[in-house]
Structure 1
Amino acid sequence: MITYEWLYLLAGAFFAGWSILSLRDRRIGNAAFWGVLAASFFLGSHVSDFVNGVLVLALVTIAGAGGIKRSAPATTTLAERVGDAERFGNRLFYPALIVPVTAVAGTLLYNYTPFGETGLFEPRRETLLLFGIGVLVALAAATVWLRPPLLAPAEEGRRLLDSIGWAAILPQMLAALGAVFALAGVGEIIGALAGGAIPEGSVLLTVVVFALGMVLFTMIMGNAFAAFPVMVAAIGIPLLVEEYGGNPAVIGAVGMLAGFCGTLMTPMAANFNIVPAALLELNDQNAVIRQQIGTALPLLACNIVIIYVGAFLLWN
């Protein structure tokens, strides 16, 4: 059976490779950061919470000390890239499409055909595992098709990660923070406050508060994955699902989308909003956010309507 652990090992192998390449170029800070991250993927399931905490603190220390620097490894030349762009055009995007096709088509086949009876994948993990398989298939297809230098994929991945820096793992860090907040009972406190303020039986108002809470917590914490455990524990499960009988799938999925509206409007989502501004060398570091607000607010309104209609009017 292919389990979640295989995905951890795959991710760890990529980070370990980037660490070795950085060490070869004598970029000690980069090598240490990606090496520690690789260790967390390789060992995280097999060591204590204390050791995992030490690994996280090591990552924070390296990043806080400015240990990660941009790199510019030699891969293909500019002339080769221009030539490939002129020769292949938009077909260069074909390998990227392999990843979602593999994840979606593979999940459907696994869940709705006899293929699922093989027990090949860990239950309820098939989509993520197929996503990882899709990445490997896409990488192999692109390599066979374009025939780049052997280390070009690894070096290009390192160049991109080094450009993003520590913000590349910010979503995981914030998601963990959200789980900590949920375990600390923050969700129950917010739920008690919301329950006292919202009139009993006001389903639409509860949906609005839930969606706005996802947006606000996402803006504060920088990522919808961090806001989700808190708001689900506060309003999603006790009020929308248990008290009003809403569809949990719609509430969970679209609730996350509502949170992503907050991602579009906050500098705390540095990897989405601040890093692109820096990479594009924009004078205003909030320029990306300013352009996204006009999309985020109408999208939030649409998400509220979808939750109310899909989870309640069409469900009950």
Structure 2
Amino acid sequence: MLRIEYAYWLIGAFLLVAAMFNARAKRWAMTAFWAVLATPFLFGEAILDANARGVRWPAQGMGLCVIALGALAARGDLRMLPEAASAVAARLRSAAALGNRLFLPALAIPAITLALVLVAKYAQSRDFALIDPAQPTLVSLALACVIALLIALRTTRASPVESLRQGTRLLDTLGWAALLPMLLATLGSVFAATGVGDSIASIVAVLIPTDSRIACLAAFVLGMVVFTVIMGNAFAAFPVLMAGIGLPLLVLRHGADPAVLGSIGMLTGYCGTLMTPMAANFNIVPAVLLELPDQYGVIRAQLPTAIALLAVNIVLLYFLAFR
């Protein structure tokens, strides 16, 4: 059975490869950064098992690793070195020759993920499952990325080593911003565990008429957008807003469908992602990579789409979540 742990191990192995490439280039800060980050991916399950048995030092070691990552990022040494002009020219020539076929691997990821999720429930029995039924979407996404890599190698005729080298180059370009989705998702879980959702529920109960379905829905939707703008990622906002408004008010009091509320609610949060510089890995790093004259050019281009999608999501939630 394919489990999400296999994907984590694969990511950890790639991070170690990235550390190795940086070590060969004598970029020691970047080497240490990717090597430390590889640790939870490779040994996270063992650390959780040890913690469950009462062995605390591995988890405490992970806390030190987090501090080390912050210290390395704060030093400002995680910068991509300028690429040689000959390498840039060669890549541009290759891109011109391949044309739109370059988009095939990227487009294959969502298509294959959707196909695997739909097929997963038919590829299992009482005693066997091809994909872990506990996390079919994440496992399917990981498998789709591996298949997309094979498609990319076939399309570009590149070697696996070259794919690792170019992947390291992209990872180095992102630098510490590559951690933002994970950190913000963890932040959302921390907020939910510390009772921020309960505090929001108390504030909402004072500010809006909780007997009004429309008022509760508006508070949930706008809260998802505002929290996402503040924290930079819908993964961080979702557990807080679901605990504070979604479950107690919309699901339990007004009978909303939790599946519809969760899926469209998360998409609503991403409207906020399109609007905020806090989502640096989505909105600021691309502007740097594309060398745009306006640092916020990506956000300005996305703003009309974000507003239109927000309006559509509100309508969909109203008519689909309360059927």
TM-score scaled to structure 2, two decimals? 0.89
Specify the alignment match of 2:218 in structure 1.
208
- Cα pair 2:120 2:130 within 8 Å, conserved: no
Cα distance in 2 for partners of 1:55, 1:305 equals 45
Match of 1:55, as an amino acid? C
Cα distance in 2 for partners of 1:286, 1:78 equals 25
Change in Cα spacing, 1:282 to 1:98, as seen in structure 2 (3 Å) is closer
Task: Give the C-alpha shift of residue 124 in structure 1.
Answer: 2.6
Cα distance in 2 for partners of 1:208, 1:51 equals 43
Deviations 1:11-48 (CA, angstroms, capped at 9, x unpaired) = 11111111111111111111111111111211122224
Moved more, 2-11 or 45-54: 45-54
Task: Give the C-alpha shift of residue 70 in structure 1.
Answer: 0.2
Q: Where do 1:77-92 residues align within 5 Å?
A: 77=87, 80-92=90-102
Specify the alignment match of 1:70 in structure 2.
80
Cα distance in 2 for partners of 1:142, 1:160 equals 15
Structure 1 counterpart SS, 2:134 = coil
Change in Cα spacing, 1:86 to 1:266, as seen in structure 2 (3 Å) is closer
1:227 counterpart (233, 237, 241): 237
- Cα pair 2:174 2:285 within 8 Å, conserved: yes
Moved more, 219-228 or 292-301: 292-301
Cα distance in 2 for partners of 1:287, 1:92 equals 24
Specify the alignment match of 2:106 in structure 1.
96
Change in Cα spacing, 1:63 to 1:45, as seen in structure 2 (3 Å) is same
Moved more, 182-191 or 144-153: 144-153
Structure 1 counterpart SS, 2:104 = helix
The question of 1:158 aligning with 2:155 is answered: no
Cα distance in 1 for partners of 2:41, 2:33 equals 13
Change in Cα spacing, 1:265 to 1:101, as seen in structure 2 (3 Å) is closer
Change in Cα spacing, 1:122 to 1:139, as seen in structure 2 (3 Å) is same
Specify the alignment match of 2:247 in structure 1.
237
Task: Give the C-alpha shift of residue 73 in structure 1.
Answer: 6.7
Specify the alignment match of 1:198 in structure 2.
208
Task: Give the C-alpha shift of residue 128 in structure 1.
Answer: 1.5
Structure 1 counterpart SS, 2:45 = coil
Task: Give the C-alpha shift of residue 131 in structure 1.
Answer: 1.7
Match of 1:132, as an amino acid? A
- Cα pair 1:18 1:31 within 8 Å, conserved: yes
Moved more, 21-30 or 271-280: 271-280
Specify the alignment match of 1:263 in structure 2.
273
Task: Give the C-alpha shift of residue 250 in structure 1.
Answer: 1.2
The question of 1:116 aligning with 2:115 is answered: no
Cα distance in 1 for partners of 2:313, 2:155 equals 41
The question of 1:42 aligning with 2:50 is answered: no
- Cα pair 1:178 1:225 within 8 Å, conserved: yes
- Percent of pairs identical after alignment? 46
Match of 2:31, as an amino acid? A
Deviations 1:157-212 (CA, angstroms, capped at 9, x unpaired) = 11111111111110110111111111110110111111232214211111111010
Structure 1 counterpart SS, 2:252 = helix
Change in Cα spacing, 1:71 to 1:148, as seen in structure 2 (3 Å) is farther
Match of 1:116, as an amino acid? Q
Moved more, 265-274 or 245-254: 265-274
Cα distance in 2 for partners of 1:79, 1:177 equals 41
Change in Cα spacing, 1:82 to 1:290, as seen in structure 2 (3 Å) is closer
Specify the alignment match of 2:5 in structure 1.
5
TM-score scaled to structure 1, two decimals? 0.91
Specify the alignment match of 1:31 in structure 2.
31
Change in Cα spacing, 1:90 to 1:77, as seen in structure 2 (3 Å) is same
Specify the alignment match of 2:188 in structure 1.
178
Aligned residues: 311
Structure 2 counterpart SS, 1:154 = helix
- Cα pair 1:44 1:52 within 8 Å, conserved: no
Structure 1 counterpart SS, 2:124 = helix
- Cα pair 1:109 1:116 within 8 Å, conserved: no
Specify the alignment match of 2:51 in structure 1.
none
Specify the alignment match of 1:19 in structure 2.
19
Specify the alignment match of 2:55 in structure 1.
none
Structure 2 counterpart SS, 1:67 = coil
Match of 1:311, as an amino acid? A
Cα distance in 2 for partners of 1:12, 1:44 equals 10
- Cα pair 1:73 1:159 within 8 Å, conserved: no
Cα distance in 1 for partners of 2:89, 2:74 equals 37
- Cα pair 1:72 1:159 within 8 Å, conserved: no
- Cα pair 2:276 2:299 within 8 Å, conserved: yes
Structure 2 counterpart SS, 1:121 = coil
